[in-house]
Structure 1
Amino acid sequence: MRPEVFKMIDRVVSIDPSLNKIHCQGLVPQESSIFEGHFPGHPIMPGVLLIEAMAQSTGWLILARNRFEKMPFLATVKEGKLRTFVVPGQNLDLYSEILHEGSGFVVARTQGSIDGKLICSAELTFRVLPWPEGKMKAVVMKVAEHVSFPLTEFVDA
């Protein structure tokens, strides 16, 4: 996990064959610039980054469902709950499940846990659109390799 550059997922652990569920992991780094002000002497991961981690987990699932032909953009966060502090060195397990898809939108339930204990959850809505012009798709494909995303299963040659 490199929260200072918004790379919150270290590994895609599994994707359900039906493409409805995903499990990802991110190890909260021991040191990061985000902890300098949040908070001195008591570093905790900002809640907005927990939401970003849940969104990225769901994003990988949406990319798989669309065979990387379209890109998800976070549109809405509902029922966001942050239950406890997340500190450096903890391993965050992220789970997302698609609830609804249609008209260019995807709604998912997502949650994060540490050692099996629920620490955050939300219902997220994404707008799914064509890739913007430029190198964004190539950058995402490179990140996919880094997080052990099974590209050969989801990208047409």
Structure 2
Amino acid sequence: MINIEEIQSILAHRYPFLLVDRVIAVDLEKNIIECLKNITANEPQFTGHFPDHPVMPGVLLIESMAQAAGILGYQMKVRQEEDNSIYYFAGADKVRFRRPVVPGDQVILRAEFVAMKRNIWKFSCEGQVDGKIACSAEITCARKEL
């Protein structure tokens, strides 16, 4: 498991935009990661989305999947050599939202490495709540050396 302090050493994001609370599992043989995002009513987006019916914005679910993918990319690169890079969200394809994500939900974010060409990495991602897929996407990240 990777805790929030270690996640902050990998990702440049901070409150309110750090959207991964914990890494549950990393399998570097299969290049898969599972992360946890707790959805709480105290998050700032719920004051406007929507005041009487809070729903996690889809764009933030996509960002949370991208952050999980970025952590996986970092872990894969560190296995090979010391990594002094940042991973930028570069794109999302085949995005699907299958159910609303609301305060009280725990989203299990799963990212699987698909391919890399030069410094562009592609991942297959999904977010599950209570064992059911809430969202999915193919996420592209760009790796930039610092």
TM-score range, shorter chain: 0.7 to 0.9
1:13 aligned onto 2:28: no
| 2:72 aligns with one of 61, 66, 88 | 61
Secondary structure of the 1:56 match is helix
Q: Give the whole-Å Cα distance in 1 for the aligned partners of 2:39 and 2:16.
A: 13
Residue deviations 1:115-139 (CA, integer Å, cap 9, x gap): 10001000011111102xxxxxxxx
Could you tell me which residue of structure 2 aligns to residue 42 of structure 1?
53
Secondary structure of the 2:68 match is helix
1:92 aligned onto 2:139: no
1:25 aligned onto 2:36: yes
Identity rate of aligned residues, in percent?
35
Secondary structure of the 1:5 match is coil
Matches within 5 A, 1:48-127: 48-67=59-78, 68-127=83-142
Q: Give the whole-Å Cα distance in 2 for the aligned partners of 1:126 and 1:7.
A: 16
Secondary structure of the 1:30 match is coil
**Retained in 1: the 8 A contact 2:16–2:44?**
no
TM-score between both structures, scaled by the size of structure 1: 0.78
Q: Give the whole-Å Cα distance in 2 for the aligned partners of 1:24 and 1:104.
A: 23
Q: Give the whole-Å Cα distance in 2 for the aligned partners of 1:6 and 1:60.
A: 15
**Retained in 2: the 8 A contact 1:4–1:33?**
no
Q: Give the whole-Å Cα distance in 2 for the aligned partners of 1:58 and 1:121.
A: 12
Post-superposition offset of 1:17: 2.9
Number of equivalent positions: 131
**Retained in 1: the 8 A contact 2:87–2:144?**
yes
TM-score between both structures, scaled by the size of structure 2: 0.84
Secondary structure of the 2:72 match is helix
Runs of 4+ in structure 1 over 6 Å off:
none
Structure 1: where are the runs of 5+ without partners? Answer: 132-157
RMSD: 1.9
Structure 2: where are the runs of 5+ without partners? Answer: 5-13
Aligned residue identity for 2:71: W
Q: Give the whole-Å Cα distance in 1 for the aligned partners of 2:44 and 2:112.
A: 31
Q: Give the whole-Å Cα distance in 1 for the aligned partners of 2:90 and 2:142.
A: 6
Aligned residue identity for 2:49: H
